[in-house]
Amino acid sequence: MKIIAKENNTYLLRFGKGEEVIASLTNFGAMNNISAGFFTGIGAAKEVILSWYDLEKKEYQDNEIKENLEITGLTGNIAKMQGKIIVHCHGSFSGTEMAVRAGHVKKLVASATCEIVFQSLGGRVEREYDDETGLNLLK
């Protein structure tokens, strides 16, 4: 990951070929003392795990896709839970026929490039486990 530009609380980040974006964003937060923020991004992926949350079973259904895809839209945030940085990211991805798949992004390996605009928040934003939904919600 490369910091292309930094201005006040805004970072323009580029992830290179083969980099796993969710883990790299987590590291970026830790290395730069960022405990909260939000982001959007575009680019291309060669491997993703997209997930759908089954609220009744309280579990994620994962769908691993190993093909080259355009990253047509990534939106997400960063918060902390018990001292650990949590990246929450959703995204939409398209293939050769421009058909789209989207979901909760658990893993995203960049192919050519992934360009993310990240804005840090000064406040300490925390997640906590919510029994009703089975999810770690913003509190």
Cβ closest to another protein, residue 7 vs residue 131: 7
Cβ closest to another protein, residue 120 vs residue 127: 120
Distance of closest approach, residue 29 Cβ to another protein, in angstroms: 19
b (16+ CB within 10 A) / e for 28-61 = bbeeeebbbbbbebebbbbbbbbbeeeeeeeebe
Long-range contacts of 129-136 (CB under 8 A, 24+ apart): 133/55, 133/58, 134/55, 134/58, 134/59, 135/53, 136/81, 136/86
* 131 token code pair: 């029994």
Chain positions 93 to 132 lying near another protein, rule: CB under 8 A, are: 93-100, 102, 111-113, 115, 117
Distance of closest approach, residue 100 Cβ to another protein, in angstroms: 4
Question: 22: helix, coil or strand?
Answer: helix
Cβ closest to another protein, residue 15 vs residue 34: 15
Cβ closest to another protein, residue 18 vs residue 122: 18
Distance of closest approach, residue 31 Cβ to another protein, in angstroms: 20
Chain positions 4 to 63 lying near another protein, rule: CB under 8 A, are: 4-7, 10, 12, 14, 17, 40-42, 44, 46
- Asked if residues 100 and 83 have their Cβ atoms less than 8 Å apart, the reply is no
Place of tokens 């910091």: 3
Where along the sequence are the contacts to another protein (CB under 8 A)? 2, 4-7, 10, 12, 14, 17, 40-42, 44, 46, 68, 70-74, 92-100, 102, 111-113, 115, 117
